[in-house]
A and B are shown apart, each in its own frame.
Chain A
Amino acid sequence: MSEHEGSDFPWYIPDQQAVLIGWVTDEESEMEGMPAYYIHWRGGLFVGAYNEKDERFSPRYSPDTEGGAMSEQVHKFKTSAPEVELSPVGRALHNAWSLHEPGMIGVKQAHVLALHRAGFSRSEIAQILNIEPSTVDSHRYDATGKADAAKTFVARVKEIEERGDTDITQREDETAPNTH
Chain B
Amino acid sequence: MYIFQKKPSSLNTVHGFEQLGDNPSPYTLRGGEENREKAEAIHKNRPDVDQQEDENSNEPITLEMETWENNLWEKDFPYVDTIPHVKLLDRATRVLEFAERYGCLNQSELDGDIDENGVLGYFDPVPKRIVVDTDPDDFLGARKGPTVAHELGHAFDFDIGQKSERAGYDESKESVFDTDGARKDAIRLSERLRGSIPEGEGKYSSYRLSEEELLADTFALMVIEPEAAERVGPRAVDCLNNYLSVVAEDIFE
Interface size on B, residues (CB 8 A): 34
User: Is A44 an interface residue when CB atoms closer than 8 A count as contact?
Assistant: yes
**In the complex, are the beta carbons of A69 and B166 less than 8 A apart?**
no
**In the complex, are the beta carbons of B210 and A42 less than 8 A apart?**
yes
SS of A interface (majority) = mixed
Determine the distance from Cα of A42 to Cα of B124 in the docked complex, in whole angstroms.
Answer: 11
Partner of A58, one of B3, B209, B210: B3
Determine the distance from Cα of A61 to Cα of B206 in the docked complex, in whole angstroms.
Answer: 5
Partner of A130, one of B122, B127, B168: B168
Determine the distance from Cα of A177 to Cα of B212 in the docked complex, in whole angstroms.
Answer: 58
Identify the closest chain A residue to B206 (Cβ): A61
User: Is B114 an interface residue when CB atoms closer than 8 A count as contact?
Assistant: yes
Q: Give the bracket for the number of chain A residues in contact with chain B.
A: 35 or more
Question: Chain A interface (Cβ within 8 Å of chain B)?
Answer: 14-17, 29-31, 38, 40-44, 46-49, 51, 53-54, 56, 58-64, 66-70, 76, 80-82, 107-108, 111, 128-131
Question: Chain B interface (Cβ within 8 Å of chain A)?
Answer: 1, 3, 114-116, 119, 122, 124-127, 129, 158, 163-164, 166-171, 173, 200-207, 209-212
**Would you list 19 pairs from A and B whose C-beta atoms are within 8 A, ordered by A residue?**
A29-B201, A31-B201, A42-B163, A43-B163, A47-B204, A51-B116, A56-B122, A58-B3, A60-B207, A61-B201, A62-B207, A62-B209, A62-B210, A63-B203, A64-B200, A67-B173, A70-B169, A129-B168, A130-B167
Extra inter-chain contacts (9) besides given A46-B207, A81-B202, CB under 8 Å:
A17-B125, A30-B201, A47-B204, A51-B115, A56-B122, A59-B210, A60-B207, A69-B171, A131-B168
